[in-house]
Amino acid sequence: MAAPAIELKDVQFSYRAGKKILDIPNLTIDAGERVFLFGPSGSGKTTLLGLLTGVLNAQQGSVQVLGRDLAKMSGSQRDAFRGSHLGYIFQLFNLIPYLTVEENITLPLRLHSERRKRLKSGMHEEAKSIAARLGIDHLLHENVVNLSVGQQQRVAAARSLIGAPEVIVADEPTSSLDFDHRERFIELLFDCVKQANATLLFVSHDRSLMPMFSRQLSLPDVNRVSNTSVAA
Amino acid sequence: MLLLSLAYHSLKNRLLTTVLTVLSIALSVALLIGVENVRVGARESFSNTISQTDLIVGARGGSLQLLLYAVFHIGSATNNLSYSSYEHWKNHPAVRWTIPYSLGDSHRGFRVVGTDKNFYEHYRYRRDKSIRFSAGRAPESVFDAAIGSDVAQKLGYQVGQKVTITHGLGGMIEHNTKPFTIVGIIDRTATPVDRSVYIPLEGISAVHVDWQDGAPPMPGEEIAADKITKEQLKVENITAFLVRFKTRLAVLQLQRNINEYADEPLSAVIPGVVLAELWATIGYAEDALRVVTFFVLIVGLLGMLVSLYTSLNERRREMAIFRALGAGPAKIISLLVFESAILSFLGCVLGLGIVYGLSFALQPVVERQFGLYLPIQAPTPTSLMYLGGVMIAGILIGFVPAWKAYRNTLSDGLSVRL
């Protein structure tokens, strides 16, 4: 097995001194895994994602992503790292409203040359083929505000996948979709992730999706801070 | 380039706000540059009215007043000077030429200027332009008249037509027994010459020949034009005269000599010096105007600040997406600064467009109404400085919402729940 994609050791994080949100002694996700991360609201999912993407910085411990320690990088290095090696899908409103579908999909390529260099063909061709796989290639020149929520999430998936980032993080991307669309979306996402050989970290509290993943991870199980009592 | 294109698309997405913001900046820029152009144009127009004249001489009085009535035909003289004094200085060995003016009468709202052939020969405006005729010739006999181009145009006069002269400015008494014949129409000069009627000095004497003690002749006592003797045409007074010396070095010395002339109290002024005094006086008004314009500009820029700042809340989501895509704070900040830079740039361009568009449209009107020939020329260094200032201010102002957006992204991270 290759080196782990994500490895957290003795990570502690708090927004305010004295009120720890996360205390994770050990968390490892191997490359190529498709992990379903769940936990009740307030259990620190969002914070964990912040740490993994380098938007937040842990006060203690090491956060290794693809063998690089984020804690040792500067803020701008973390930004560049995130843009080059991570794909991120939000729960909702993933798209820049004033850009077309294609412009949205290719945005990471235009922001980061490293991601552009990994392309096997031109930006346009790449966007087209990835959109075709997600069934949205007929929408490429569409204004994103004309898209349905399901279509928007596929565009977001295409954008997170383009330029072959090693880790895809999806923060409840299906919570605004109805059940049929949910499964279809996840299947498509799996297809693409597999093809790109990427690691998928999928956050949700919809446990009905759990069986589709190769590994299920309950955040309260790895987090020593119990926040569950705060929010029901 | 990417950020520029993003900023452009973002502004295009909020078209109405963008247009209104650009418009408000454009209008303040137009006002700023417009005021500057009018200021410079007015000065040039004034300075260009009289060239190659070393001194203006009139009866003792205020120097500004002398300049205004003698050259710009604004206001009137309180006193005349005697023709003998004029002849004394005219024949001074240091003098190259003189142009006598006799003012005080008018024709349908246009000033009548009594002068002699020296005017047509020596008068210079806009550095070295001399009087030319678009039709006819210079007056030669007593009842000949030459008219400025505005007079000809407005009153529809042509060479050969007869006109009468009114006593005083806008008075009621016509010198109607002694009509003048238009013998020439002076080519456009874009100076007060265009709005004047020129007759010989003797013509002025002739229309007043039967007057006594400043009152018109009683009915039946008028002397007909053909009965006037050469003796009666003798010029006794003029209002002012222009002097050109053989050498510039003589100017200050002779100015003093004329001011101290024992036979008659005279005032001699250097046109450039008086104009400078005039500008110094007007300067206060200009400064006040400029302050007002600056405030208008500040209001325009604040409008931009408000529109960018208020859009930030609805754009938090957008900023979070950019963060997720790996855009650092510097990129977020530059995106917003680019937006305000684009707005200011468009404002400047549109403002310039408004100024020059209006200049072309209004130039003839201003010239007709105010006699002010405003040259249309490339932006002055001051204008360019203003434009640069607006751009810099626009960019600096962009940092305010940019900083706020940056703070937002720090606290939001990737998790904006809207």
Q: Tell me the mean pLDDT in the region B57-75.
A: 90
Closest residue by Cα to residue A181 from A203, A149, A136: A149
Could you tell me which residues of chain B have a Cβ less than 8 Å from any Cβ in chain A? 2, 6, 9-10, 12-13, 317-318, 320-331, 413-415, 418
| Pairing of the two strands B196-200 and B144-147 | antiparallel
pLDDT band at B121; cut points 50, 70, 90:
very high
- Touching check for A50 and chain B: CB below 8 Å? yes
Q: Tell me the mean pLDDT in the region B147-162.
A: 93
Question: How far is B98 from B86, CA to CA, in rounded Å?
Answer: 9
- Touching check for A94 and chain B: CB below 8 Å? yes
Would residue A152 count as lying in a domain? yes
- For residue B316, the model assigns a pLDDT of 84
Domain count, chain A: 1
What's the mean per-residue pLDDT of chain B?
Answer: 88
pLDDT band at B342; cut points 50, 70, 90:
very high
Indicate if the pLDDT at residue B103 is higher than 70: yes
Q: Tell me the mean pLDDT in the region A200-227.
A: 86
Mutate one of A47, A105, A110, A159 to test the B interface: name it (highest B CB count within 10 A): A110
pLDDT tens digits, one per residue of B242-273: 999 999 888 999 999 999 999 999 999 999 99
- Touching check for A114 and chain B: CB below 8 Å? no
Q: Which residue of B has its CA nearest to A83?
A: B326
Indicate if the pLDDT at residue B1 is higher than 90: no
Would residue A200 count as lying in a domain? yes
More confident: B135 or B410: B135
Residues 6+ apart with CB under 8 A from A125: none
Contact criterion met (CB < 8 Å) for A90 and B9: no
Q: Tell me the mean pLDDT in the region B362-371.
A: 76
- Residue A94: list chain B partners with CB under 8 A: 321
What's the mean per-residue pLDDT of chain A?
Answer: 87
CATH (domain of A186):
3.40.50.300
Provide the token pair at B289.
Answer: 């105007």
- Residue B12: list chain A partners with CB under 8 A: 98
The parent domain of residue A123 ranges over: 4-222
pTM (whole model) above 0.80: no
pLDDT tens digits, one per residue of A72-128: 888 889 989 999 999 998 888 889 999 999 999 999 999 888 888 888 888 899 899
Q: Which residue of A has its CA nearest to B324?
A: A88
- Tell me the torsion sign for CA atoms A144, A148, A154, A156: positive
Q: Tell me the mean pLDDT in the region B356-365.
A: 89
Distance from CA of A88 to the nearest CA of B (A): 6
Distance from CA of B329 to the nearest CA of A (A): 8
- Touching check for A83 and chain B: CB below 8 Å? yes
Which own/partner pairs from B71-74 qualify as long-range (CB within 8 Å, at least 24 positions apart)? B71/B192, B71/B271, B72/B46, B72/B192, B73/B103, B73/B111, B73/B113, B73/B192, B73/B195, B73/B196
Closest residue by Cα to residue A167 from B326, B149, B66, B356: B326
**Helix axes of B329-370 and B271-314: crossing angle, nearest 10 degrees:** 140
Closest residue by Cα to residue A206 from A231, A170, A156, A152: A170
- Residue B326: list chain A partners with CB under 8 A: 79-84, 86, 108, 111-112
Would residue A205 count as lying in a domain? yes
Q: 3-state DSSP call for residue A90?
A: coil
pLDDT band at B417; cut points 50, 70, 90:
low
Distance from CA of B316 to the nearest CA of A (A): 11
Distance from CA of B305 to the nearest CA of A (A): 21
Indicate if the pLDDT at residue A230 is higher than 50: no
The beta-strand segments (E) located in B65-179 are 81-82, 95-107, 110-115, 124-125, 129-130, 133-136, 144-147, 162-163
- For residue B418, the model assigns a pLDDT of 47
Are A83 and A169 spatial neighbours (Cβ–Cβ below 8 Å)? no
Closest residue by Cα to residue A217 from A98, A52, A16: A52
Q: Tell me the mean pLDDT in the region B116-136.
A: 93
- Residue A88: list chain B partners with CB under 8 A: 324-325, 414
Distance from CA of A96 to the nearest CA of B (A): 6
Provide the token pair at A53.
Answer: 């993407």
Percent of chain B with pLDDT over 70: 96
Closest Cβ opposite residue B318 in set A81, A96, A159:
A96
What is the DSSP code string of B302-344?
HHHHHHHHHHHHHTHHHHHHHHHTT--HHHHHHHHHHHHHHHH
- Touching check for A170 and chain B: CB below 8 Å? no
Contact criterion met (CB < 8 Å) for A98 and B317: no
- Touching check for A77 and chain B: CB below 8 Å? no
Q: Tell me the mean pLDDT in the region B299-321.
A: 86
Beta-carbon neighbour count of residue B259 at 10 Å?
Answer: 14
Q: Which residue of A has its CA nearest to B410?
A: A55
Closest Cβ opposite residue A55 in set B2, B414, B418:
B414
DSSP A208: G
Contact criterion met (CB < 8 Å) for B326 and A83: yes
- Continuous H helices in B200-269: 201-207, 251-259
Q: Rounded to the nearest 5°, which phi and psi values hold at B223?
A: -100, 125
Indicate if the pLDDT at residue A227 is higher than 60: no
Would residue A90 count as lying in a domain? yes
- For residue B19, the model assigns a pLDDT of 94
Mutate one of B13, B410, B414, B418 to test the A interface: name it (highest A CB count within 10 A): B414
Indicate if the pLDDT at residue B380 is higher than 70: yes
More confident: A103 or B3: A103
Mutate one of B2, B325, B410, B415 to test the A interface: name it (highest A CB count within 10 A): B325
- Touching check for A96 and chain B: CB below 8 Å? yes
- For residue A232, the model assigns a pLDDT of 35
**Helix axes of B15-49 and B381-412: crossing angle, nearest 10 degrees:** 160
pLDDT band at B416; cut points 50, 70, 90:
low
- For residue B94, the model assigns a pLDDT of 93
First-to-last CA distance in chain A? 39
Are B267 and B59 spatial neighbours (Cβ–Cβ below 8 Å)? yes
**B129 CB burial (10 A radius; 0-12, 13-18, 19+):** middle
- Continuous H helices in B56-212: 63-71, 83-90, 117-122, 149-155, 201-207
More confident: A223 or B230: A223
- Residue B318: list chain A partners with CB under 8 A: 96-97
Are B70 and B101 spatial neighbours (Cβ–Cβ below 8 Å)? yes
What is the DSSP code string of A16-59?
ETTEEEEEEEEEEEETT-EEEEE--TTSSHHHHHHHHHTSS--S
Provide the token pair at B330.
Answer: 């510097």
Match 């909020």 to its residue by tokens.
Answer: B14
pLDDT tens digits, one per residue of A14-50: 888 778 888 889 899 999 899 999 988 878 888 888 8
Closest Cβ opposite residue A82 in set B13, B326, B331:
B326
Closest Cβ opposite residue B413 in set A55, A76, A86:
A55
- For residue A231, the model assigns a pLDDT of 41
List residues bridging with B343 in a β-sheet.
Answer: none
Q: Tell me the mean pLDDT in the region B182-192.
A: 92
What is the DSSP code string of B371-394?
-------SPPHHHHHHHHHHHHHH
The identity of residue B130, as a single letter, is: S
The Cα-based distances of B133 to B158, B189, B327 in angstroms read 12, 10, 72
Would residue A228 count as lying in a domain? no
Tell me, what's the ipTM? Answer: 0.88
Question: How far is A208 from A148, CA to CA, in rounded Å?
Answer: 23
Would residue A229 count as lying in a domain? no
- For residue B313, the model assigns a pLDDT of 79
- For residue A229, the model assigns a pLDDT of 47
- For residue B289, the model assigns a pLDDT of 86
- Domain locations in chain B as residue ranges: 2-46+283-412, 55-269
- Tell me the torsion sign for CA atoms B215, B221, B223, B227: negative
- For residue B371, the model assigns a pLDDT of 64
Helix (H), strand (E) at residue A130: helix A123-133
Q: Tell me the mean pLDDT in the region A179-205.
A: 87
Q: Tell me the mean pLDDT in the region B322-339.
A: 88
